[in-house]
Structures are given as structure tokens and as C-alpha cells.
Homo-oligomer: A and B are copies of this chain.
Amino acid sequence: MLSTIKIVLVETTHPGNIGAVARAMKNMKMHNLWLVAPKIFPSADATSRASGADDVLAGATVCRTLQEAIADCQLVIGASARGRTISWPELTPRECAEKILINEPGNGRDGSQQSCGIHTIPGDKVAIVFGRENSGLKNHELDLCHFLLRIPCNSEYSSLNIAAAVQIVCYELFVTSGLAAQEEIFVGDKGEEPLATAAQMESFYTHLAEALTDIGFMHPAKSKSIMRRLRRIYNRIQLDTKELDILRGILRMSQGHKRNTDV
């Protein structure tokens, strides 16, 4: 159940923290660790702080970009301590665990119930992303996330150690997963289309930007803020692959116009 959840660490500076994260994960029965461009890895410091969780370290996947780490995920949640200019839907660790693990009837993808009714179905892959020790995730990385994860804490001293943050999140997942298992809350959404992956969404956004430029709606140079707004919109919906096909069909047709016009 927890095996479909990746913990992704972006550009971690101190290898000791990577080890402490591995330990925090294994304590809560989680094993799927991804490291995006870690400064030093592998490292004796990491192994020492992992303290018996070296199997998690040994199984960790190292990659170059966040995009690679989340490419196959249907739901991406980014930890953030700061507010953002464009506000993004936020979850506490408990809400995060419930969103990932509890499939409530009516909270599925039928769209009928909730404004931000993004919910996974069993088998969907989830990434929870943690940023650099000093500066967290950058805006362009947060833009890749459906939700921000904000850990409740002292507003005057809000910087948690990265392993402490991972510990809280994994603890909430573990506690929630136990309840879910006992109560057999799963109500599948069988027969649904699979959700679009992050990679599919990225190629949609590329296509969208092209099409909006083609139809003259925006100039590439001034497009950043508009594209972020549009990402905020489409990330919120969590499109399935069929819906994505429809939207891309629309984009293609708009572009077709353009080409016809140009002839």
C-alpha cells in the first residue's frame, strides 16, 4: 500500500540527512527513495545515519532532474515552508495521507463533489518531494506539484530538519494506512481511465504554450505568468488520459486553423 509512494529529495546537501531520511522511512515501512542530484552520494555519513536502513539507501534511485523522478506519478505533492505569490492548494501531513490512502466514495474522479477533488485510485503512483536544506523547492519545481504540503509548526521558527519533516509525513502515512487497512475503506473507481502522468502533463503544457502562441493569445516572451496560472488550473484537475486526448485534440485544431490562415 505504501509501496507506490516515492519520497523524492531534491539536491540534498548533507549526506547525513539522506541517511536520516532513509531511517525515518524504514521506521514507517516505506522504502521508495529517489534522490535528485544529491551533492554527495553514496557516503559514509549517509550510511552511518541510516543506522540499519542501508537497504533503503542501497535501493535509492539517483537521477538528474525532478522531472525524471516524477515522470510516472499521477499525484505529486511538494513540501513547502513558504507562502507563494500565486497560492497553490495546500495539505497538512494528515490531509496528505488521507488524500493518498483513503478513497472515499464521491471523492473519486467523477467531478461531482469537490472543488479540488484530486484523488488517487489503488495502483496510482505518488511522489512527495522535499527540497534543499536551506532553500527548499524552487518555484519552477513547485509548479510541477498538484499540492503543497505544509507541516504545521511555529511560524517564528518554521524550518524543520529535512529528516524530521520526512519522519512526520511518513508517520502520518503509516498511521493512516493502518486505519485504512482495518476498515477496508477502499472503494475502487474501476473502469476509469488511468490518470495522466507528470510526463504526459508536461507534453500537454508544451503543446498548450505552442498553441496559445500560434493563435496569438500570448507572446512567448511574456508567457511565464500566464503559463503558471494555466498550470495551476490544469494541475488542480488531475486529468485522465482520455480527457487529455480531448484537450490536445482541441489544441491541434486551433493550430490547424493557424496554419490554414497562414497559407
Contact = CB atoms under 8 A, between A and B. Distances in A.
A153 B175 CA distance: 8
Contacts of A186: 83, 87
The quantity of this chain's copies bound in the complex is 2
B239 A233 contact: yes
The 6 nearest A-B residue pairs measured at CB: A152-B180, A115-B238, A111-B236, A217-B253, A164-B167, A29-B154
A184 B238 contact: no
Interface of A: 20, 23-24, 26-29, 51-53, 83, 87, 92, 94, 110-111, 115-117, 150-155, 157-161, 163-164, 167-168, 171, 174-175, 178-180, 183-186, 189-192, 212, 215-217, 226, 229-230, 232-233, 235-239, 242-243, 246-247, 249-250, 253-254, 256-258, 260-261
A229 to B, nearest CB: 6
B161 A235 contact: no
A169 to B, nearest CB: 10
A128 B153 CA distance: 19
Given A111-B236, A161-B20, A216 B154 contact: no
A155 B155 CA distance: 34
A158 B27 contact: yes
13 contacts: A20-B161, A24-B161, A24-B164, A29-B153, A83-B185, A115-B238, A152-B175, A153-B171, A154-B183, A164-B167, A229-B243, A233-B246, A257-B261
